[in-house]
C-alpha cells in the first residue's frame, strides 16, 4: 500500500484527483492512502439535507459524492482518504468503516482516552462527542473519500451546522482533551495501525 502526503490545500482539487484515480485504476493498481488537511470548507454528502447548514458564514459549501450528511473540514484535522479495491481486500463497505473507526479508537487508547462507536452514526466518539468522521464512496468496487480526525482543529465552525445531521451532536478534538501531541507523531501512529489492518 502506497502512502501519499499532500500539503494543506483545496478540497475540490483533491476530490477531483480521487475521482480520476478511481476511474482509471486497474486490477493491478496499488491501493493508496492519501494524507492531507484542507482549507476551511463545509461538505455535504450526495443525499445530505441542506437544512443541516445553520449558518455557513464565509465558509464555502460544496456538495460531494460521498455518503453521509454535512461536516466541516479545516486546518488541524488529519484527513485520510482510502483508495482501495474492496474485492481484492475481501472487504465490504461496513468492514472498511469498522477498520477506520478502530484505527482511531486504538490510537486514542494509546493516550488513555476511551473512545467508542455509535449506532447509525459512523465515526468515533469520546463521551458522546465526535472526534472523527467517516464518509465513503464506492465506484467500480473501489473506494475513495475516507476519514477526518480532529487533533487541533478550530471547533467554532461546527456550531454553524448540525454535524452529520444531528442537531444535538457535540464535537471535540485531541487538543480539547488536553493531548498536545504533534501531527507527525499522530500520522505515524495512525498509518502504522491502518497499514497493519489493511495490508494483512
Could you tell me the three cell numbers for 82? Answer: 482510502
**Cα–Cα distance, 74 to 16 (Å, whole number):** 18
Question: Model confidence over 80-113: pLDDT tens digits?
Answer: 999 999 999 999 999 999 999 999 999 999 999 9
Which active-site residues does the annotation give?
164
CATH architecture of structural domain 2-199: 2-Layer Sandwich (3.30)
Average pLDDT of the chain? Answer: 93
Single out the residue of 80, 101, 62, 77 nearest to residue 171, CA to CA: 77
Q: What is the pTM of this model?
A: 0.94
Question: Model confidence over 148-184: pLDDT tens digits?
Answer: 999 999 999 999 998 877 777 899 999 999 999 999 9
Instruction: Provide the percentage of residues in the chain whose pLDDT is more than 70.
Output: 100
**Cα–Cα distance, 78 to 164 (Å, whole number):** 18
Above 70 in pLDDT, residue 10? Answer: yes
**Cα–Cα distance, 144 to 6 (Å, whole number):** 15
Instruction: Provide the percentage of residues in the chain whose pLDDT is more than 90.
Output: 84
Q: Is 37 in contact with 187 (CB distance < 8 Å)?
A: no
Q: Can you name the residues that pair with 146 across neighbouring β-strands? A: 81, 135
**Lowest mean per-residue pLDDT among 140-144, 181-185, 193-197:** 193-197
**Cα–Cα distance, 126 to 142 (Å, whole number):** 30
Q: Kindly compute the dihedral angle of the four CA atoms of residues 187, 133, 106, 181, in this order, to the nearest 10 degrees.
A: 40
pLDDT of residue 200: 58
Provide long-range contacts, Cβ within 8 A and 24+ apart, for 120-124: 121/164, 121/166, 121/169, 122/68, 122/97, 123/164, 124/149
Tell me how crowded residue 88 is: count the other CB atoms within 10 A of its CB.
13
Beta strands in the chain (DSSP E): 2-5, 32-36, 41-44, 61-63, 70-73, 77-83, 124-126, 129-139, 142-150
Instruction: Locate the domains of the chain by residue range.
Output: 2-199
Q: Is 81 in contact with 33 (CB distance < 8 Å)?
A: yes
Amino acid at each position: 500500500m502506497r502512502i501519499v502526503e499532500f500539503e494543506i490545500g483545496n478540497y475540490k482539487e483533491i476530490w477531483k484527483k480521487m475521482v480520476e484515480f478511481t476511474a482509471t485504476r486497474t486490477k493491478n493498481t496499488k491501493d493508496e492512502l492519501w494524507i492531507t488537511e484542507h482549507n476551511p470548507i463545509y461538505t455535504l454528502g450526495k443525499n445530505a439535507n441542506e437544512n443541516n447548514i445553520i449558518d455557513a458564514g464565509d465558509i464555502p459549501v460544496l456538495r460531494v459524492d460521498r455518503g453521509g450528511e454535512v461536516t466541516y473540514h479545516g486546518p488541524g484535522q488529519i484527513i485520510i482518504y482510502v483508495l482501495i479495491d474492496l474485492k481484492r481486500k475481501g472487504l465490504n463497505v461496513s468492514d472498511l468503516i469498522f477498520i477506520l473507526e478502530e484505527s482511531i479508537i486504538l490510537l486514542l487508547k494509546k493516550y488513555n482516552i476511551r473512545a467508542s462507536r455509535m449506532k447509525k452514526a459512523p465515526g468515533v466518539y469520546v463521551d458522546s462527542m465526535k472526534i472523527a468522521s467517516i464518509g465513503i464512496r464506492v465506484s467500480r468496487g473501489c473506494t475513495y473519500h475516507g476519514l477526518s480526525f480532529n487533533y487541533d482543529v478550530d471547533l467554532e465552525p461546527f456550531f454553524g451546522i448540525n454535524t452529520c445531521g444531528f442537531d444535538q451532536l457535540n464535537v471535540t478534538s485531541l487538543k480539547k482533551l488536553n493531548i498536545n501531541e504533534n501531527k507527525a507523531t499522530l500520522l505515524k501512529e495512525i498509518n502504522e495501525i491502518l497499514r497493519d489492518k489493511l495490508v494483512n
